Amino acid sequence: MKIVNSVALVTGANRGIGRHLAAQLLERGAAKVYAAARDPRRVDVPGVEAVRLDITDPGSVAAAAAAAGDVTLVVNNAGVSTGANLVSGDLGRIRLEMDTHFYGTLSMVRAFAPVLKANGGGAIVNILSALSWFSYDGANAYAAAKAAAWSLTNGARIELAGQGTQVTGVHLGAADTDMSRLYDGDKIDPAAVARAALDGVEAGALEVLVDDWSAMIKATLADDPSRFYGPALR
């Protein structure tokens, strides 16, 4: 997937990682970038075409796919973090996490797959998380939704291979964005996340591990979970 002369659509492009993705796509020579947000007036990246899009609203997704019929690269970046746990958390917040990260991303993939096919295949990039692979008290709904989105990414990759659509998953720890403003640990520059994601797309990577934390977490999946979760269970 070459970014030069591509036509890209980025969800959640009004801030954080999405804003950097939109800007860097233009810097790398994309012919057009649709910068999607629930309120397009909040998109402030020079040179993009702001579009209204709520990925949790199937009608909004369908309208975006109809309006952006020239797209060759879809970046599913829009997200939400409610801080809900699974057992005791508010069920509405848990559903919002799943509606956004799983069903919203799935809705985008389903709507834009025919568009990408008509335009030669192209690529889909799903911004995921190291929390796709572990649970954390205070963010368990987010982790469950991102785990589902990871599985979605792997499944969509298989299903879309026949039409020549590349599907790339991007995993990272905490980025220095509004979403993680209450997190007190180390944070990645969102510009670096966008750069790694786009480098991975052009390299044909199926998966991008942005930081050492993500690489370490994924490596633990082959181990006994008691070694990872043991301290939290005592």
Token pair for 141:
């709904």
Reported confidence tier of residue 232, pLDDT bands at 50, 70, 90 = confident
> 29: Cβ–Cβ under 8 A, 6 or more apart, which residues?
3, 4, 5
Q: What is the mean pLDDT of residues 152-170?
A: 98
Q: What is the pLDDT of residues 70-89, one digit of tens each?
A: 999 999 999 999 999 999 99
Percent of the chain with pLDDT over 90: 87
Which residue(s) pair with 125 in the sheet?
75, 168
Dihedral angle sign, alpha carbons of residues 218, 221, 223, 229? positive
| pLDDT score recorded for residue 227 | 87
Which residue(s) pair with 74 in the sheet?
9, 124
Reported confidence tier of residue 185, pLDDT bands at 50, 70, 90 = low
Task: Please compute Rg for the chain using Cα positions.
Answer: 17
Q: What is the pLDDT of residues 24-56, one digit of tens each?
A: 999 999 999 999 999 999 999 999 999 999 999
| pLDDT score recorded for residue 179 | 66
At residue 180, does pLDDT exceed 80? no
Q: pTM value?
A: 0.94
For the chain, which residues make up each domain, given as ranges? 7-233
Select the CATH number that applies to the domain covering 7-233 from these four: 3.90.950.20, 3.40.50.1000, 3.40.50.720, 3.90.50.10. Answer: 3.40.50.720
List helix spans (H) across 83-220.
Answer: 91-98, 105-118, 140-160, 190-203, 212-219
| pLDDT score recorded for residue 8 | 98
Reported confidence tier of residue 165, pLDDT bands at 50, 70, 90 = very high
Distance of alpha carbon 80 from alpha carbon 182, whole angstroms: 14
Q: List the one residue out of 178, 212, 197, 160 whose CA is nearest residue 76.
A: 197
At residue 223, does pLDDT exceed 80? yes
Q: What is the pLDDT of residues 104-152, one digit of tens each?
A: 999 999 999 999 999 999 999 999 999 999 999 999 999 999 999 999 9
